């Protein structure tokens, strides 16, 4: 119990919750924005066309469970935001709405790296704790990107894949989709499978930083995380 209440653990929980809520808010805003661009006013009428995190937070999936996981394990664990409701478009439209959420996580990750590198280039002293927090925020957004693109309903990847495959494959895909939640369950129950998401997220985090640092002629941050 004493380990849970240490200053470092409290800082980890606070930072983790801020990063996660921001990432979820932008993710759900992406869905709302794309649905609105395609002509659906539902997200705007329901107050979802906003960057206000509380408009997108699910009391259990965004607030309670992540906090419990952070306190007990130091990681986010399994969590979710409040789904954005929108009318059903043709499958390409549904695909665009679905992909817009994960795409926003990539945009946020890139923005964080860009700001971090600009600060370093300007000579601003960014301490190791803040550096680690920023790198972790980038990593978290890539985790959300790759996890949500797993082709298994109800994740965004299920809708994205359905919009990409040929029409002749739709019947077989829809039959698979009935069992897709079991794929998601496997990711939740078998931690080793998580490497499918963690490895590309780590790769993207490292190489995005490497690219931006090289462009800005800023020394490497290897070992900062």
75 lies in the same domain as 148: no
- Domains identified in the chain, total number: 2
| 126 and 71 belong to one structural domain | no
Residues 6+ apart with CB under 8 A from 109: 137, 138, 141, 142, 145, 204, 205, 208
- Token look-up 């039959």 returns 175
**Tens digits of pLDDT across the chain (225 residues):** 456 667 777 888 888 899 999 999 999 999 999 999 999 999 999 999 999 999 999 999 899 988 888 888 878 777 889 999 998 888 999 999 999 999 999 999 999 999 999 999 999 999 998 999 999 999 999 999 999 999 988 899 999 999 999 999 999 999 988 888 888 788 777 777 888 899 999 999 999 999 999 999 998 775 555
Q: Are residues 147 and 120 in the same domain?
A: yes
Q: 122 lies in which domain range?
A: 94-225
Which tokens go with 10?
């409290």
Residues 216 and 108 grouped into a single domain? yes
**What pLDDT does 96 receive?**
97
- Catalytic residue status for 28: yes
Residues 109 and 191 in one domain: yes
| pLDDT on residue 1 | 47
Query: What are φ and ψ of residue 17, in 5° steps?
Result: -65, -40
Residues 136 and 220 in one domain: yes
Same domain (yes/no): 213, 123: yes
The length of the chain, given as a count of residues: 225
- In the chain, the largest separation of any two C-alpha atoms, in whole Å, equals 59
Q: Kindly state whether residues 140 and 206 are assigned to the same domain.
A: yes
Which of 28, 66, 139, 221 is flagged as catalytic?
28
Q: Which two tokens stand for residue 140?
A: 């978290």
Q: Are residues 20 and 101 in the same domain?
A: no
Q: Residue 28's pLDDT is what?
A: 97
DSSP calls for 125-173: ---HHHHHHHHHHHHHHHHHHHHHTSSSTTSHHHHHHHHHS-GGGHHHH
Between CA 5 and CA 2 the distance in angstroms is 5
Q: Which of 55, 87, 119 is the last residue of a domain?
A: 87
Q: Are residues 78 and 104 in the same domain?
A: no
DSSP, collapsed to helix, strand or coil, labels residue 16 as helix
Contact 112, 23 (CB under 8 A): no
Q: How far apart are CA 104 and CA 101, in angstroms?
A: 5
The pLDDT assigned to 224 comes to: 55
Look at residues 24, 54, 87 and tell me which one is the last residue of a structural domain: 87
Which three-class secondary structure state does DSSP give residue 27? helix
């Amino acid at each position: 119990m004493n380990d849970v209440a240490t200053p470092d653990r409290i800082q980890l929980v606070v930072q983790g919750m801020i990063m996660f809520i921001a990432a979820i808010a932008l993710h759900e805003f992406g869905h709302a924005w794309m649905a609105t661009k395609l002509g659906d006013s539902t997200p705007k009428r329901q107050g979802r066309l906003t960057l206000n995190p509380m408009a997108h937070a699910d009391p259990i999936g965004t607030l309670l469970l992540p906090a419990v996981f952070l306190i007990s394990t130091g990681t986010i664990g399994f969590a979710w935001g409040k789904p954005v409701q929108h009318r059903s478009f043709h499958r390409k439209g549904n695909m665009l709405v679905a992909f817009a959420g994960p795409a926003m996580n990539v945009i946020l990750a890139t923005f964080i790296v860009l700001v971090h590198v600009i600060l370093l280039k300007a000579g601003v002293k960014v301490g190791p704790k803040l550096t680690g927090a920023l790198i972790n925020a980038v990593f978290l957004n890539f985790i959300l990107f790759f996890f949500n693109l797993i082709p298994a309903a109800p994740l965004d990847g299920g809708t994205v894949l359905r919009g990409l495959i040929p029409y002749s494959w739709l019947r077989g895909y829809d039959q698979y989709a009935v069992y897709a939640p079991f794929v998601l369950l496997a990711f939740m129950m078998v931690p080793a499978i998580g490497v499918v998401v963690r490895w590309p997220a780590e790769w993207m985090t490292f190489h995005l930083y490497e690219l931006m640092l090289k462009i800005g002629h800023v020394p490497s941050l290897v070992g900062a995380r």
